[in-house]
Amino acid sequence: MTKNIKMLIRRAAGAFCLGGMMLSAGLFTSCTEKDNTVEEFTNWQSKNETYWNKLYTATQQKIKSGDTSWKIILNYTFQNQKQTSGSALTYSPEDYIIAHVEQAGAGTASPLYSDSVSMHYMGRLIPSTTYTSGLIFDKSWSNDTFNAITSRPAHSFIGLTYSSEGKAVSLVDGFTTALMSMHRGDHWTVYIPYQLGYGASASGMVPAYSTLIFDLRLVDFSHPGTKLKDS
């Protein structure tokens, strides 16, 4: 794994592991009458749930109207499930991710759970008091803006792997679902409900109950034992 990809990784036991980013002082501080501190993430769970439900409903309408640039994708862990009784399985909006296709790649195959990927990504939160476009909590490129020529992609396993300390780690479910649905060259904006992200626990710069929004570009993927391309 390279660059800041640890931001997307969580320990299988449930303790999220984010690397390379420090929580800025005062980020979660409530405002008081004695200072000018901004209450950045007040009512954060409610705001994120409202944001997700509105986005999900709006995306459903866009898809029904024929807009093929939007996708609603079921959590990969639920895909191909069958009800033994024969009745249809039902899922909630938070069991899905939402993707907007910014640019479709030339590839036709998608990564498998056992594959490795190279990708460019930037993660942010929904808009908040100070961060009107959403707080950026991680990105794979070092400059302020993405440059396809100079930015080197991050590498990661998709499925379960082990850290140098021998601890089991994996990408969050929503990010895994997105990668396993993409093709080489795809550029998507991916929306992940907090249930498929970091859940009810704060992690680094990411508050609890945070919807995650990623600008995600899949460069390449490879099966075990083969090399990845960097461009």
Does residue 156 lie within any of the structural domains?
yes
pLDDT at residue 126 above 70?
Answer: yes
Domain of residue 143, residue span = 5-11+44-80+91-222
Which residue(s) pair with 217 in the sheet?
Answer: 120, 187
CATH number for position 143 = 3.10.50.40
Q: How confident is the model at residue 36 (pLDDT cuts 50, 70, 90)?
A: low
Q: How confident is the model at residue 75 (pLDDT cuts 50, 70, 90)?
A: very high
- The pLDDT of residue 162 is 74
Domain count, the chain: 1
Cα gap 140→153, rounded to integer Å: 7
Q: What 8-state DSSP symbol labels residue 33?
A: T
Does residue 105 lie within any of the structural domains?
yes
pLDDT at residue 29 above 50?
Answer: no
Does residue 16 lie within any of the structural domains?
no
Cα gap 161→117, rounded to integer Å: 13
DSSP3 helix / strand / coil % (the chain, rounded to 5): 15, 25, 60
- Amino acid identity of residue 217, one-letter, is R
CB 216 within 8 A of CB 73: no
Instruction: State mean pLDDT over 176-201.
Output: 98
Instruction: State mean pLDDT over 149-175.
Output: 86
* Cβ-Cβ contacts under 8 Å for 63 (sequence gap 6 or more): 70, 71, 72
pLDDT at residue 212 above 50?
Answer: yes
CA angle 45, 46, 52 (to 5 degrees): 90
